[in-house]
Amino acid sequence: MSDGWPEAGDSGRGSQTPTTAADGGADVREQFRPDDHPTDHFLLTTVVGSYPKPKWLNRSEDLVGDEEYDFDEEHIQEAHDDAARLITEEHERAGLDVVCDGEMRRNEMVEYFAHRIDGYEFNGPVKVWGHNYFDKPSVVDEVSYGEQWLVEEFEFTSGVAARPVKVPITGPYTLANWSFNEHYEDEETLAYELADLVNEEIEALVDAGARYIQIDEPALATTPDDHAIVGECLERIVDGVSASGANGGSLGTDGVPADVRLGLHVCYGDYSRIYPEVLDFPVHEFDLELANGDYEQVPVFQDPEFTKDLALGVVDAHTAEVEPVEVIKENIKKGFEIVPPERLTISPDCGLKLLPREIAYGKMENMVRAAREIERELDAGEVDVGFAATPADD
């Protein structure tokens, strides 16, 4: 763990934060390369997490608790298992290297966790935009770990998946910021209390075998001035988890394996307001939404040099047309303007759950095709963009 919080522009960034094999940190990426991967180059393909639920699952969720139907918790559990199995398989069919269950058991990214944390209460939906609402919870008492959050979800998914499984988990800053805080003196205090709970959950996930964990902090985009709070939250989260080694701490403390890959997903904001400060965060990878803004924000990450792995959004999560492979290939190449191929992960901009299911599938499938084609072109030395360009032979 690093002491104190370095200011933007402090010297030593990069040299003190080995995060990838490329700059001397533990290699937490190569483990996800499939044994039969056909090319030397490997662009890790994955998703952010959420995926459209099959209509029958939404209908089933409506039926629970309705006295007219004989449909109880046990039945919905079975429906969730079936959906998780189905969507995990759908991710594998699309060819992704790292999959998840599309968050079939989760209703919403804050609500799901708030229902499992003691200290929260629900008062009813509030508007997000138009007629889209969110049952924004209130923290009315000290927060503490209630029932398990994601370990059962992970165990089920990894049990049915042939590919490695990524676990997306809502970060403590977003859990705090997207709740009403009635109890704590300020949101920062609440965020740190929640970070300790997220730490507990991540340790349990690691014990269960999880090796790729993505912390979702979309709220950072709404309040970018709070990046130091998010950083402190992350320090608390990785405390005792191997990824604390990513920021210069000791690897493998508490007997936790050193090969856990930690990512941070931030979307829909002005990244220049959090960069380069986020480079000090103790994670291996940043997962960013850049396709939506047509890569206008790429220059933000070029100066100073990006020292983490980049999970690049290459398909838009809010347009209902499947991007052609050729378009996605050009998007992937944008990533080489920030990192070399061995540090680039290929991903959609954000969770795909608001799209029609066939569109979501089409985007994943084309995304994988595009990545595999670029890998072949990289092997052949045909990509001449940024960090992927082959040095001239003169």
Partner 1 sequence: MTELVATTPGLLPLPGWAKEELSDLKGHQKSDLIDGTEGADVTEAYERVRAEEIEWQTEAGLDRVVEGQGRWDDNIAHPLAVADAVDTRGIVRYYDNNNFYREPVVVDELAPTGDAADELTAAAGVLDAESSPLQAVLPGPYSLSDLATDEHYGDEAAFVEAVAEFLTGEVEQFPDVETLFLLEPSLVENPPEDGLDERASEAIDHVAAATDADVVCHTCWGAVPEKAYAHLMDADLDAIGFDFVSDHETNLYNVTEYGTTDDIALGLVDGQNTRVESVGTVRDRIEWVNEQIPSQEFETTYLTTNTELFYLPVNRAREKLDVLARAAAGEEEVTA
The footprint of partner 1 (CB under 8 A) covers 123-134, 136, 138, 177-178, 180-182, 219, 222-223, 268-269, 318
User: Nearest approach, Cβ of 222 to partner 1 (angstroms)?
Assistant: 5
User: Nearest approach, Cβ of 24 to partner 1 (angstroms)?
Assistant: 37
- Which residue, 269 or 351, has its beta carbon nearer to partner 1? 269
22/174 Cα distance (integer angstroms): 31
User: Nearest approach, Cβ of 138 to partner 1 (angstroms)?
Assistant: 4
User: Nearest approach, Cβ of 176 to partner 1 (angstroms)?
Assistant: 12
First-residue to last-residue Cα distance in the chain: 45
Instruction: At 329, list the tokens.
Output: 């290939």
- Which residue, 2 or 138, has its beta carbon nearer to partner 1? 138
5-16 exposure pattern, b = at least 16 Cβ within 10 A, e = fewer: ebeeeeeebbee
Number of CB atoms found within 10 A of residue 229's CB = 23
* Backbone torsion region of residue 386, taken as left when φ is above 0, otherwise alpha when ψ lies between -120 and 50, otherwise beta: left
145/279 Cα distance (integer angstroms): 30
User: Nearest approach, Cβ of 302 to partner 1 (angstroms)?
Assistant: 25
- Say how many residues make up the chain: 394
The enclosing H or E element of 221 equals helix 219-222
User: Nearest approach, Cβ of 36 to partner 1 (angstroms)?
Assistant: 42
- Which residue, 164 or 224, has its beta carbon nearer to partner 1? 224
User: Nearest approach, Cβ of 142 to partner 1 (angstroms)?
Assistant: 15
Beginning with the edge strand found earlier in the chain, give each strand of the sheet holding 212-216 in spatial order.
44-45, 344-347, 309-313, 285-288, 261-266, 212-216, 167-170
- Which residue, 59 or 318, has its beta carbon nearer to partner 1? 318
- Which residue, 138 or 253, has its beta carbon nearer to partner 1? 138
Helix (H, G, I), strand (E, B) or coil at 142: strand
User: Nearest approach, Cβ of 183 to partner 1 (angstroms)?
Assistant: 8
368/374 Cα distance (integer angstroms): 10
Tell me which residue has tokens 């393909």: 45
Ordered DSSP codes for 225-268: GGHHHHHHHHHHHHTTSGGGGGGTS-TTGGG--TT-EEEEEE-S
User: Nearest approach, Cβ of 127 to partner 1 (angstroms)?
Assistant: 5
User: Under a CB-based contact definition with an 8 Å cutoff, are residues 292 and 313 in contact?
Assistant: yes
- Which residue, 10 or 186, has its beta carbon nearer to partner 1? 186
Cα–Cα distances in Å, from 175 out to 143, 239, 268? Answer: 11, 19, 17
- Which residue, 11 or 129, has its beta carbon nearer to partner 1? 129
- Which residue, 111 or 239, has its beta carbon nearer to partner 1? 111
- Which residue, 4 or 129, has its beta carbon nearer to partner 1? 129
394/378 Cα distance (integer angstroms): 20
Read off φ and ψ for residue 163, nearest 5 degrees: -105, 160
